[in-house]
Amino acid sequence: MSRRNFSKLQQRKNMARRGSEQIDGGLPILSGPPRKRPSKEDLRKQTKDMFAAVTEITRIFECKPCRFRFRARQAVDPVEPMLCTRCGRPV
């Protein structure tokens, strides 16, 4: 028998690879705290925001009859005309 506990050796290798402990027991070299894994909710929100930024733009509209100016988000390729928020006519 070689008197080696291979599961313990593998455990040490895994801990060293994951960053919680160095193999030689020294201090980690220029490593900060471990990165926090983002939650699925955060990832979904980021994806939604990026998709909205690509497909929508913010524009300033001015209604000619009532001379009302407003800011609205509009799709890059609008399907229908924007309506005035005050009088309801197409801008």
Express each pLDDT in 25-79 by its tens digit: 555 566 677 788 999 999 999 998 888 777 777 888 899 889 898 888 887 777 7
Cβ atoms of 90 and 82 closer than 8 Å: yes
Answer whether residue 80 shows pLDDT above 70: yes
* Cβ–Cβ under 8 Å, residues 87 and 63: yes
Q: pTM, whole model, 2 decimals?
A: 0.37
Nearest to 62 by CA among 70, 72, 74: 70
Can you read off the two tokens belonging to residue 3? Answer: 């008197």
Cα–Cα distances in angstroms (integers) from residue 27 to residues 19, 30, 32, 35, 87, in the given order: 11, 9, 11, 18, 68
User: What does the pLDDT read at residue 28?
Assistant: 57
pLDDT tens-place string over residues 54-66: 777 788 889 988 9
